[in-house]
Amino acid sequence: MSRPYILMISPTGARRTQADHAWLPVTPDEVAVEVKACLEAGAGAVHVHVRNDDQSHSLDANRYRVMLAAIHEAVGDNLFVQITTEAVGIYQPQQQMDVVREIKPECASFAIRELVPDGAHEEAAAEFFAWVKDEGIVPQFLIYEAHELARFKQLIADGILPFKTPFTLFGLGYHGTRYATPQDVEPFVAEINALELDMDWGVCAFGRREAECVAAAFEHGGHVRVGFENNIETPDGEPLTSVAQSVGYARERLDALDAVPMTGPEIRSYLQGRSG
């Protein structure tokens, strides 16, 4: 039986520049072209980063406004749009929260270890995430290691994160230079089951086995994110020339599993209904 799933793209990320990969989309116009091609290839959602003029990572609200306008001009409301709050060792939690308050996006991603690194940050996080919920902003929480899920569950139980069915992304292959493997999904799935967590979750995977990893996630009930933030190689190790290629390699694996990518409006309706 076929199952629908979220296929999100991350065209740019925070760290690579065009010196690392010539086809990396950085400017709003470059990103808009890639996003449109990825929509046509079957993606339903996009994870957005913005850059300074020197291609360094930025959380500047004005740059986000320009980027989001370019994306909307290219694809209208046909993609569900998520902005990042990634710190990259530059931004503090308050600055990460401030950009969301200023932009009020339909969705934003938050790394728990950045926004709520310890108990001293819980009061501010509780106030912020209550506001996020009241505004109808869909949060996605980034978890890097399976053991972080126990604290994540406690933050929900304590009301710091007021979301009963959170949308969560697991990052595979973040440690060292090792490529992610499909087996990296298993500790997260085991921890979800052990903690009896009810959540929508997906994975992104570093390295050329990206398509294998997201297919493994789907087989365990998860969703999918691909793109140049995490991988710039084909499965054979050749350079990818577009983010849409990443979507194509993922679709090849997922279509064989009778997986059906959700449209942007379907994702929007589904996640807004689940995040309350």
User: Residue-wise pLDDT tens for the chain (276 aa)?
Assistant: 689 999 999 999 999 999 999 999 999 999 999 999 999 999 999 999 999 999 999 999 999 999 999 999 999 999 999 999 999 999 999 999 999 999 999 999 999 999 999 999 999 999 999 999 999 999 999 999 999 999 999 999 999 999 989 999 999 987 656 789 999 999 999 999 999 999 999 999 999 999 999 999 999 999 999 999 999 999 999 999 999 999 999 999 999 999 999 999 999 999 998 876
Model pLDDT, residue 80: 98
Phi, psi for residue 6 in degrees, rounded to 5 = -90, 125
Please compute, for residue 30, the number of CA atoms within 13 A of its CA located in the half-sphere on the CB side.
Answer: 16
Beta bridge partners of 200: 167
Q: Note the CATH number of domain 3-274.
A: 3.20.20.70
**Phi and psi, residue 83, nearest 5°:** -100, 155
Closest Cα to residue 222, out of 211, 214, 230? 214
The whole-angstrom separation of Cα 47 and Cα 114 is 18
